Chain A
Amino acid sequence: MIIPINKITPEDAPIIGGKAANLAKLISLGYRVPKGFCISTHIYRKFLDITGLNNRINIELNRGNMDTMRWEELWDTSLRIRNFFNTTPLPDEIHDLLLEKLKNWTCPFAVRSSAPGEDSSTSSFAGLHDSYVDIREEIDILEKIKLVWSSLWSDSALLYRKELNLNIYKSSMGVIIQEMISGEVSGVAFSKNPLNGEEKIIIEAVEGLNQKLVNGETEPCRWIINRRNDEVESVTESIESSSVLLDKNKIKLLSVTLKKLEEEFNFPIDLEWTLRSGDLYLLQVRPITTIYTSNSEEKPWEMGDKRPWYRSLTLTFTTLEKMKRYIEEDIFPKMKKVAIQLESIKLEAMNEEELNIEIERRQQIYNKWKDIYWKDLIPFAHGVRLFAQAYNDTIKPVDPYEFTRLLSSEDLISLRRNKELRELISHINSNKKIREDLSNNQMGNLDKKFKIKMKAFLKRYETSTFKGEKIFVDNHEFIDFLLNSSKGFNERIFSSPKELEEEFLLKFTPFDGKRILGVARASWKFRDNDNLYLGRIEASILEALHFKREKFHWNDEVEDIFLHFTSQKNHKNKELSVRRFTGQPASPGIGSGNARIISSPKEIFHFKKGEVLICDSLDPNMTFIVPLASAIVERRGGMLIHGAIIAREYGIPCVTGVVEVSKSIKLGDHVIVDGYLGTVSISDV
């Protein structure tokens, strides 16, 4: 079912989508709209049926409960589904039908999404589904059609459908193929202010095509117009430079058109337009999307429903590049400085009142940096997502996570720490006397060089804490760990493979490819390092609390603070047990061994080579035991969590997002972890 836009009737809306229906209405009202046709949802459905993708998508969507999935897990789901589309060729029947249709049209084209149910007066999917412009090759058009289809399953679209209570299983996608009109000036326009709903007309314009404007990659010239008299109230640039783009008459033309459209469509208008040789072409019209702004004083990342905030985390590479500089040059140095300052304060010299004030001050400092972490550092992780999409769309790998092999970094703090730990262990391996002295607790006789190295290690990482307790302390548990780990402390296996990198860069201009990769690598690295910096600041509060407990009174108020940072609830169900779980496949491979559940610092040092590491969330401070693990299972889900990152670095199978994990797996259970399928089974042998 392929329908020319000018032949679409209102009855076709359920199979061609709101955007296409709106374009048809514009034509019937006499507006200029680029010629084109719409590929109905029947063809989308046919593609899914013939290739079996509908069932594969279904399996992915049922991997976990979507109501409880974290945003990162949804992103993973969406990434895998997008890769299905990328790696599944169009069946001949559909391929030939589309090519036959395209031969009567002239390139270049715009390929736009048009999902039924989107862009109604009560909901707008603006920006959630993909559209592509200036596509010049037929083969590219076919690829872009698949990408538009796959954008039905983007994480933002999945979240939005859940928010609106739309049935995600019934969602479908039409595609508009339109001739490109290369206007001299293009832009967007709103019949009301989309930021605050104010009764002002807003027009934004750029020279040439408006794709960079729509993607947020360029700053447009922006006019605010009085609706009553179509007079310009303000403009972001000087009158001279702005009038080069749009003179008074053009502004009036757009302003009048918007008001007319608002009457004809009966909703506030969000318009994409272009001007060619003085003629106004309407590219698409839809209801205004309310841009996410929180009126509440509550921080968006602390709200019960974080979905609107998650959806707002879509940044462009330009924004991410700016953020990278800001994080590297400003945030990280300051975080480090604050941590060092806090660590240098001598608590011993304080009396109880001074210590109370210090605890409060440390909490305030921590809260400030925690907010920065959520506001700036979490959104920066979006760089990995954009890279993943760019990599998978261009390379089309079978493994949708192949991109992570290009992101491995020597600079992860946790990897540096693990390397130093491995050096200590290899000293023990190569020197029998060191081993004996450590085993017999003859510290006085211990090799001096080794002793200095060990002390230096403990000093360097003395601020690492887990659940409020320092991890690296010069005690027998640490020594036992070194002795027990001497056989089998794995080296990381991945280095950034040159061939993959070259293949990726070939698909872009050298500048763009390196730019994307640079942002993505920083995004990957920061994701590990930011937690370690924040962990040091958090450790300073716990240090003060521990000091208070030892030296002064321990009251309910301090207990509350302590519990806030350290508590963990673990409910075990005696009647029911789970034998097999499905989570997210986070690092490929199959591993098995006895389970060790890590929920306290002591348990960290009891971890033995070959055991399966089970935890609620893998704290970056404890990832030094990862090289000993045969597999990792984590309750939290997502590809960007530390468990997943570090497991991939060491080539250890990992499954994340296993909701019931700490309730159902007991110490010593023999478990089998399949990092390909994302399953964990408890052996009943």
Chain B
Amino acid sequence: MNKVDQVKNTIRNIASGELFGVLATSVSDVPYTNLIAFVLQDDLKKLFFATPRDTRKFKHLTVNEKVSFHVHNSNNSPENIGSGIGITITGRASECSKNYFERAMVLYLLKHPQMKEFINSPNIAFVSVDIERYDVVERFQNVTVLKVKEQEVKL
């Protein structure tokens, strides 16, 4: 397995094992973070999450599409400094187009069936993040960057 595939597998494993991650949005130089339930598309190109439209994060997205997202597998113990893996995603967010909506919803509910009632409200927007790069941090200080567009990840 080459290095790219190893990194991709690491990302897939962490993203499928963790239910929640932290989304960062920003408007007028004021950053704002939220814990969200997410799902990552298997080709690693898109990340989906659902949010009510009357939230600060959604309003931010409509003004500034640039987002960052962080997920990690630490369990809040000191030894995680060495063994934990953290992944930071950067990309651009937009409300899912009709073409993607059904697919995103199925994918999302497979991972988060408890959110069935939540996503039924017309107030809920499905957001898709077009991922530009991954920063994967392992063994405390080792950072690997996977640029999605340049790598043209295809599976």
Q: Do A683 and B54 touch (CB < 8 A)?
A: yes
Q: Do A676 and B121 touch (CB < 8 A)?
A: yes
Nearest A residue to B117, CB-CB: A56
Whether A679 sits at the interface, judged by CB under 8 Å, is yes
| Nearest CB on B from A430, distance (A) | 35
Whether A363 sits at the interface, judged by CB under 8 Å, is no
Q: A51-B113, A52-B113, A56-B113 are in contact. Are A674 and B55 (CB under 8 A)?
A: no
Nearest B residue to A679, CB-CB: B52
Give the residues in chain A near B59, CB-CB below 8 Å. 685
Give the residues in chain B near A685, CB-CB below 8 Å. 59
Q: Do A681 and B113 touch (CB < 8 A)?
A: no
Q: Do B54 and A674 touch (CB < 8 A)?
A: yes
Q: Do B121 and A674 touch (CB < 8 A)?
A: yes
Whether B122 sits at the interface, judged by CB under 8 Å, is yes
Distance, CA A676 to CA B121, complexed state (A): 5
Give the residues in chain B near A51, CB-CB below 8 Å. 113
Distance, CA A51 to CA B113, complexed state (A): 7
- From 27 to 62 in chain B, residues with beta carbon under 8 angstroms from any chain A beta carbon are 52, 54-56, 59
Nearest B residue to A685, CB-CB: B59
A-B pairs with CB below 8 Å: how many? Answer: 51
What is the size category of the interface that chain A forms with chain B? 20 to 34
Give the most central of B54, B55, B112, B116: most A CB within 10 Å.
B54
- From 54 to 106 in chain A, residues with beta carbon under 8 angstroms from any chain B beta carbon are 54-56, 58-59, 80
| Nearest CB on A from B120, distance (A) | 6
Distance, CA A309 to CA B59, complexed state (A): 47
| Nearest CB on A from B75, distance (A) | 20
Q: A676-B120, A677-B121, A677-B123 are in contact. Are A59 and B114 (CB under 8 A)?
A: yes
Q: Do B54 and A56 touch (CB < 8 A)?
A: no
Whether A590 sits at the interface, judged by CB under 8 Å, is yes
Nearest A residue to B111, CB-CB: A52
Distance, CA A59 to CA B120, complexed state (A): 15
Whether A325 sits at the interface, judged by CB under 8 Å, is no
Q: A590-B122, A674-B123 are in contact. Are A684 and B113 (CB under 8 A)?
A: no
Q: Report how many residues on chain B are interfacial, defined by Cβ distance under 8 Å.
A: 16
Whether A180 sits at the interface, judged by CB under 8 Å, is no
Q: A681-B55, A684-B56 are in contact. Are A55 and B123 (CB under 8 A)?
A: no
Q: A51-B113, A52-B113, A58-B114 are in contact. Are A580 and B121 (CB under 8 A)?
A: no
- From 168 to 194 in chain A, residues with beta carbon under 8 angstroms from any chain B beta carbon are none
| Nearest CB on B from A685, distance (A) | 8
Give the residues in chain B near A579, CB-CB below 8 Å. 56
Nearest B residue to A674, CB-CB: B123
Whether A205 sits at the interface, judged by CB under 8 Å, is no
Distance, CA A672 to CA B55, complexed state (A): 10
Nearest A residue to B19, CB-CB: A55
| Nearest CB on B from A333, distance (A) | 44
| Nearest CB on A from B95, distance (A) | 16
Whether B118 sits at the interface, judged by CB under 8 Å, is yes
Q: Do B113 and A580 touch (CB < 8 A)?
A: no
Give the residues in chain B near A676, CB-CB below 8 Å. 120-123
Distance, CA A156 to CA B140, complexed state (A): 52
- From 647 to 685 in chain A, residues with beta carbon under 8 angstroms from any chain B beta carbon are 672, 674, 676-677, 679, 681, 683-685
Distance, CA A53 to CA B124, complexed state (A): 21
Q: Do A672 and B114 touch (CB < 8 A)?
A: no
Distance, CA A79 to CA B127, complexed state (A): 31
Nearest B residue to A60, CB-CB: B117
User: Quick one: which of A53, A54, A80, A681 contacts B54, CB cutoff 8 A?
Assistant: A681
Q: Do B52 and A55 touch (CB < 8 A)?
A: no
Q: Do B113 and A677 touch (CB < 8 A)?
A: no
Q: Do B114 and A590 touch (CB < 8 A)?
A: no
Q: Do B117 and A55 touch (CB < 8 A)?
A: no
Besides A56-B117, A677-B117, A681-B54, 13 other CB < 8 A contacts? A51-B113, A52-B113, A52-B114, A52-B116, A54-B114, A55-B113, A580-B54, A590-B121, A590-B122, A674-B54, A676-B122, A683-B54, A684-B56
6 contacts across the A-B interface (CB closer than 8 A)? A53-B113, A59-B118, A676-B121, A676-B122, A677-B123, A681-B52
Pairs A-B, 9 closest by C-beta atoms: A52-B113, A55-B114, A676-B121, A672-B54, A681-B54, A56-B114, A674-B123, A677-B121, A590-B123
